[in-house]
Amino acid sequence: MSDAEVTGDADSVAQFVADLRKLRLAAGSPTLARLQHDTGISRTVLSEAFSGRHLPSTRTVDGIARACGGDPAAWIDRRDALAQARRAAAAPAEGQGTVDTGEEPAAAGPEQAPSIPRRTAGWLMAAAFLIGAAVSGATAAVVATQILSVQAAGAANGAPQIEVASGEDPALTECLDDARVVSGDTRADNSLLEVVWSDKCQAGWGRITRYDGLAMGNTVTIAIYPQTAPHGPDRQEATEHDVQGAYTALVVRPSPETLLCAEGSLTIDGTRIDLGDPLCV
CB–CB of 253/202 below 8 Å? yes
Is the domain 3-90 a CATH 1.10.260.40 member?
A: yes
pLDDT interval class at 194 (50, 70, 90): very high
How much is the average pLDDT of 71-76?
95
Pick 170-280's CATH classification: 2.30.30, 3.20.20, 2.60.40, 1.10.287: 2.60.40
pLDDT interval class at 149 (50, 70, 90): very low
pLDDT at 7 over 90: no
Domain ranges of the chain: 3-90, 105-161, 170-280
Could you give the C-alpha distances from 167 to 1, 131, 148, 175, 201, in angstroms and in order? 36, 43, 32, 13, 13
pLDDT interval class at 214 (50, 70, 90): confident
pLDDT tens-place string over residues 22-43: 999 999 989 988 999 999 999 8
pLDDT interval class at 212 (50, 70, 90): confident
Could you give the C-alpha distances from 165 to 100, 156, 201, in angstroms and in order? 19, 20, 9
pLDDT above 70 as % of the chain: 72
pTM higher than 0.85, yes or no? Answer: no
